[in-house]
Amino acid sequence: MDFVYYIRAVRKKLLWIVSFVLIACLTSFYVTYKVLPPSYESSVRLIVNSGDKLDLGAVNTNILLINTFKELIKSPTVLNKTVSEYPDLKLSSEDLSKKLKVTSSKDSQLLTISITQNSYEYGNQIVNAVAKVFQSQVANIMQVHNIYILPDGPADGEAPKAASKLLINVLLAFVVSLLLSVGFIIARETLDDTIKNPAVLEAELGLIPLGNVSVTTKKDWKRREAKTMNRKVGDPTYAKLS
């Protein structure tokens, strides 16, 4: 079977493919938009200042400390302390390590601690707890006392939704359903060893087709039965003897 044959097979089932892909995309849209719970991103910002004087040297030192602080926030020292001091969060240090995101801008003294949860208020409790524990641990371990927590809440008081996965899920459903439907048709045609084209007889077996047998449907049989039942006794037949 050549490539053109597969293209023709796919074109014959094009309506079925479009229907399958459309149903998959609509299902993904409905599940993502209606069934899955909304998620919210809660965050706090920390401004790092290791010295009492704010000069160029101190700023450069603070920027160099940012990477150290990012590792310290997600270290067992801070996370285990957070779990023990805030048992009402009902989280383990492993859960915090997986869910927390610590980011920083280039050449900036700001650190951002964020987490995505189904509840915006619950996420705020988590990031603020981690920030406070980190603030105290840095003071004890590194003798840095100038770590300030800046709340990063919305200005209008409404909980901002996290980046929606609606488009990603719909695109994923489109690609997967398209590949599955086309792959199913190609696999079905590949495994089907029946001869559908008379030209194959001449090319593969060297046989010359003598005739074609047309496909007979149920409607054809019902039409023939109706004609037979309507024929009256004594009607002439159409057969002639020679």
Give the model confidence (pLDDT) of 123-181 as tens digits: 889 999 999 998 888 888 877 777 888 866 655 555 666 556 778 889 999 999 999 99
Position 80 pLDDT exceeds 60: yes
Domain boundaries of the chain, sorted by first residue: 3-36+164-191, 40-151, 198-230
Q: What is the pLDDT at residue 97?
A: 87
**Rounded percentage of the chain residues whose pLDDT exceeds 70:** 71
Q: What is the pLDDT at residue 151?
A: 65
pTM for the predicted model, two decimal places: 0.56
Structure tokens at 128: 């603020």
**Rounded percentage of the chain residues whose pLDDT exceeds 90:** 13
Q: Are the beta carbons of 103 and 43 closer than 8 angstroms?
A: no
Report the CATH fold assignment for 40-151. Answer: Alpha-Beta Plaits (3.30.70)
Structure tokens at 239: 């057969």
Average pLDDT over residues 83-111: 85
What's the rounded Cα separation, in Å, for the pair 83 and 78?
Answer: 9
Average pLDDT, the chain: 78
Count the neighbouring beta carbons within 10 Å of the beta carbon of residue 99.
14
Q: What is the pLDDT at residue 117?
A: 83
The SS3 call for residue 146 is coil
Q: What is the pLDDT at residue 3?
A: 74
Q: Are the beta carbons of 147 and 44 closer than 8 angstroms?
A: no
What's the rounded Cα separation, in Å, for the pair 113 and 101?
Answer: 6
Contacts 24+ apart (CB under 8 A), 238-242: none
What's the rounded Cα separation, in Å, for the pair 108 and 65?
Answer: 11
Q: What is the pLDDT at residue 47?
A: 82
Structure tokens at 169: 């899920």
Average pLDDT over residues 177-198: 82
**Residue 11: C-alpha distances to residues 16, 92, 106, 131, 175 (Å):** 10, 54, 53, 59, 18
Query: What is the DSSP pairing of strand 40-48 with strand 101-104?
Result: unpaired
pLDDT confidence tier of residue 241, bands split at 50, 70 and 90: very low
Q: What is the pLDDT at residue 179?
A: 94
What's the rounded Cα separation, in Å, for the pair 101 and 79?
Answer: 13
Residue type at 75? S
Please tell me which residue, 82 or 118, carries the higher pLDDT value. 82
What's the rounded Cα separation, in Å, for the pair 147 and 138?
Answer: 8
Q: Kindly report, residue by residue over 17-76, the tens digit of the pLDDT.
A: 999 999 999 999 888 877 777 778 888 888 876 555 555 555 666 667 788 888 888 888
Q: What is the pLDDT at residue 89?
A: 87
Q: Is the dihedral of CA 59, 63, 68, 74 positive or negative?
A: positive
Q: Torsions phi, psi of 23, nearest 5?
A: -65, -40
